[in-house]
Amino acid sequence: MNPNELSKIIKNRRAVYHKFYTGEKVPHEVIMEMLENANWAPTHRHTEPWRFVVFEGVGLEKLADFQAMRYKETLTKEVSFDETLFEKLKSKPLLCSHVIAIGMRRDPKRSVPEVEELASVACAVQNMWLTASVYGAGCYWSTGGVTYDEGAKAYFRLGEADKLMGFLNIGMPDESNLTGRRRPVEEKVMWVTG
Ligand SMILES: Cc1cc2nc3c(=O)[nH]c(=O)nc-3n(C[C@H](O)[C@H](O)[C@H](O)COP(=O)(O)O)c2cc1C
């Protein structure tokens, strides 16, 4: 492979939001390849902490209903009901071809610090995201909804020590010229040369 190709793939990956999804389904084989490539993320002590729940078809309705229900259930006296947010939770997953819930399964032996498990899962997500983008599928990692709702974790087969890290929303986009921006890497790097 030409190394320039890899740089292009990395730089062309974009967050593609629901409003760009056409409703067309991302082929099953692409989702499978995304998951397979996720499984090759780096992992300290081979804990392989990434766990995924894939929602498609009627599964998307179930996810939408679940997150809307949890929103209602977890409202406190201090927070008033937001009809717009409720409707978003109930409708947004239905715009996707697939939604993949991103979980971190904590190693029972605690072989490595938690931050390393989270880093490993993030690498797995990047593998999925890059794979989707080379097939022309759009993705977007979201951390809204029930992401930080402790009471929602069991729904995603996660235990107390595990973490839900958000959702990879996936759809075929109608826009292919999405531009990205980053501040220069020089701002974020220090060299030690002697
Ligand atoms: C861990 C994580 C969580 C994110 N959560 C959200 C989110 O909840 N809402 C959102 O609009 N974007 C979210 N994003 C997506 C970023 O906002 C997106 O990557 C950013 O807009 C930059 O776009 P680009 O990746 O196309 O350059 C998240 C990204 C990461 C890595």
> Residue 97: what pLDDT?
98
What is the pTM for the complete model shown?
Answer: 0.96
178 has pLDDT over 80: no
> Residue 176: what pLDDT?
64
Q: Give the pLDDT band (50/70/90) at residue 77.
A: confident
Q: Show me where the domains of the chain are located.
A: 15-57+95-173
Is the CB–ligand 1 distance for residue 14 below 6 Å? yes
Number of Cβ atoms within 10 Å of the Cβ of 177: 5
CA distance 56 to 131: 18
Q: Give the pLDDT band (50/70/90) at residue 6.
A: very high
Q: What is the mean pLDDT of residues 69-73?
A: 96
> Residue 69: what pLDDT?
97
If you average pLDDT over every residue of the chain, what do you get? Answer: 96
Is the CB–ligand 1 distance for residue 15 below 6 Å? yes
Q: What is the mean pLDDT of residues 80-89?
A: 96
State the fold for domain 15-57+95-173: NADH Oxidase (3.40.109)
| Most ligand 1 atoms within 8 A of CB, residue of 50, 104, 141, 178 to mutate | 141
Ligand 1 center from residue 108 Cα (angstroms): 30
Ligand 1 center from residue 46 Cα (angstroms): 27
Is the CB–ligand 1 distance for residue 180 below 6 Å? yes
**Which residue, among 83, 82, 32, 37, has the nearest Cα to 56 in the 3D structure?**
32
Six token digits for residue 59? 């599964």
